[in-house]
Structures are given as structure tokens and as C-alpha cells.
């Protein structure tokens, strides 16, 4: 999936600047910068690794929290009774790496056979 960069709010940018300064110190020690002669490719690799991990964590936490706070309407189906059925770990591979979260599950009281009638497979074994 191609990523489209969007404008970041000024308050978020300022906090990211502060975090970047903290990260540089964590990466490079008290001085906060790499030794003279360090190739830019190494600095870029450090920066991209930190940035992608931040992106991965933001996405993972966001979908996890969204799933935890699902509205009651998410568990309502007109004309049927919905029963909670635990949670399912949902994995997803993103450009920043693999994320996962617990997605609430539910079962409908009425069967859904009409949606999935038994038919011959469309796969290669049906030829």
C-alpha cells in the first residue's frame, strides 16, 4: 500500500521535535549525535528505524484502543440477537511492521446459512 504523507499539526510537530532530541541522546549517548565520520546512511537507518517503530506503535495502540472502546451499536444487528463471543487477535502487516490487537467477536443467534449456501468451489480443484 502506498503511503501518502499528510500535514502534521504544529503541536504534534513540536512534541516530535522534543522526542527526537530525547531519541538522539538515547541512540548516540549524552552528546546526542554520532561520532564524526559516521556515514549518513547509518544515521538515516537509525532515524528510519526509530520513526517506523513509532509509527508501528501508534497504529497498534490506536486500533487496540478503538477495539476496546467499540460502541454498543457495533454489537447490534437488526432482526437478530448478538451474543459476545470473546476476542480474536487480529494481525496486520503494515509498511512499518506487523501490528496486532484484540478484536471483539460476536455470534448471531439466527443462522447465516443463506449468506453462505453450499456450492461447488471456484478454486482449482473444481475444474
The answer to whether position 3 is within a domain reads no
Q: Output the CA–CA distances (angstroms, integers) from residue 82 to 52, 69, 72, 78, 110, in the order listed.
A: 38, 17, 11, 10, 9
Q: Determine the pLDDT at residue 115.
A: 42
Q: Determine the pLDDT at residue 83.
A: 86
**29 HSE (CA, 13 A, CB side):** 3
Q: Determine the pLDDT at residue 111.
A: 57
The answer to whether position 31 is within a domain reads yes
Domains of the chain: total: 1
Q: Determine the pLDDT at residue 67.
A: 93
The answer to whether position 35 is within a domain reads yes
pTM for the structure as a whole? 0.76
Are 56 and 97 contacting, i.e. CB atoms less than 8 angstroms apart?
Answer: yes
Digit-coded pLDDT (tens) for 68-82? 998 888 888 888 888
Regions of the chain with pLDDT less than 50: 113-117, 126-127
Residues of the domain holding 23: 10-69+82-106
The answer to whether position 49 is within a domain reads yes
Average pLDDT, the chain: 87
> For residue 31, what is the DSSP state?
T
- For 111, left (φ over 0), alpha (ψ -120 to 50), or beta? beta
The answer to whether position 21 is within a domain reads yes
The answer to whether position 14 is within a domain reads yes
Residues 6+ apart with CB under 8 A from 76: 82
Digit-coded pLDDT (tens) for 81-90? 888 888 999 9
The answer to whether position 95 is within a domain reads yes
Rounded Cα distance, 8 and 51, in Å: 14
The answer to whether position 116 is within a domain reads no
Amino acid at each position: 500500500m502506498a503511503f501518502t504523507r499528510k500535514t502534521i499539526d504544529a503541536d504534534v510537530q513540536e512534541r516530535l521535535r522534543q522526542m527526537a532530541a530525547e531519541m538522539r541522546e538515547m541512540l548516540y549517548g549524552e552528546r546526542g549525535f554520532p561520532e564524526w565520520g559516521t556515514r549518513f546512511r547509518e544515521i538515516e537507518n537509525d532515524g528510519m528505524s526509530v520513526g517506523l517503530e513509532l509509527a508501528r506503535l501508534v497504529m497498534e495502540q490506536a486500533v487496540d484502543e478503538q477495539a476496546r472502546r467499540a460502541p454498543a451499536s457495533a454489537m447490534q444487528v437488526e432482526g437478530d440477537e448478538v451474543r459476545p463471543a470473546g476476542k480474536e487477535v487480529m494481525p496486520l502487516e503494515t509498511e512499518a511492521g506487523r501490528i496486532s490487537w484484540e478484536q471483539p467477536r460476536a455470534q448471531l443467534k439466527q443462522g447465516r446459512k443463506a449468506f453462505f449456501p453450499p456450492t461447488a468451489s471456484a478454486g482449482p480443484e473444481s475444474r
